[in-house]
Amino acid sequence: MARRAHPPSNAGHPLLRLNPHDCVPFMDMLFADGATGSRKMDALPSPRIMNTHMHHALLPASISDNPDCKIIYICREPKDMLVSLWQFTRKFDANLAFSDVGPIWDHVLGYWNASKKSPETVLFLKYEETLRDPVESVKKLARFVGQPLSPAEEEAGVAEDIVRICSFDKLKGLEVNKRGEPGDWANHMTPEMARRLDAIMENKLQGSGLVFA
């Protein structure tokens, strides 16, 4: 959405200089700041781009029920998601166990069901699929937010430039959690733990149409 103000081919692009969290405000933290956070949110230029970990059911109606508001939900394979969440929260509690993290299925199903009900305003993406074809994923995102790439932009390789500046190789010098590699759960879970979690997720997602390979 900001590619005209900040061309992705620009060597001084904000994503090459700043932490991504500095470029996209974390809505949860703004809400936690009360009136101060509300003023900061109101001061953001339109269209506003924000990040959140909120459950869909907890989103303000001004977001969830607003036909002009686009929601993009990126979901990882459940075992990788659990490991990532566990590793992040362990920064604050080194004794945190796997069993203390979760459940995750209600959060996932909230956005999945919303995307089925309102596909024009809620886009549900699987992280692993975006990695398999990142260029097409960028084009899909651009179309979804109403900013499709023009033929000239496609010819100029704008989608490829966006993929490049968003890659982990470019972010490696910044404060990011991990490399986000699919299948990392195998380095932290026993086969029995993985089997049990797969069975739980299959049971919880039954009938929803959402499956993970």
User: 7 in a domain, yes or no?
Assistant: no
Q: Region 73-93: what's the mean pLDDT?
A: 85
| Domain assignment of residue 195, given as a range | 14-204
Residue 25: partners with Cβ closer than 8 Å, 6 or more residues away:
40, 41, 44, 50, 51
In order of 45, 92, 155, 162, 166, the CA distances from 178 in angstroms are 31, 16, 33, 20, 14
| Domain count of the fold of the chain | 1
Q: Region 184-210: what's the mean pLDDT?
A: 93
In order of 50, 102, 124, 206, the CA distances from 201 in angstroms are 29, 12, 17, 8
In order of 12, 15, 122, 199, the CA distances from 56 in angstroms are 35, 27, 10, 24
When pLDDT is cut at 50, 70 and 90, the band that residue 166 belongs to is confident
User: 6 in a domain, yes or no?
Assistant: no
Contact 185, 80 (CB under 8 A): yes
> Which pTM was predicted?
0.84
What integer best gives the mean pLDDT of the chain? 86
The CATH number of the domain where 36 resides is what? 3.40.50.300
- Reported as a single tens digit per residue, the pLDDT across 95-145 is 766 555 567 899 999 999 999 999 999 999 999 999 999 999 999 999 999
Of 187, 74, 174, the C-alpha closest to 124 is 74
Of the chain, the percentage scoring pLDDT greater than 70 comes to 90
Q: Which residues have a catalytic role annotated?
A: 53
Is residue 177 predicted with pLDDT exceeding 50? no
User: 8 in a domain, yes or no?
Assistant: no
Q: Region 145-158: what's the mean pLDDT?
A: 95
Quote the pLDDT of residue 98.
58
Q: Quickly count: other Cβ atoms within 10 Å of residue 142's Cβ.
A: 19
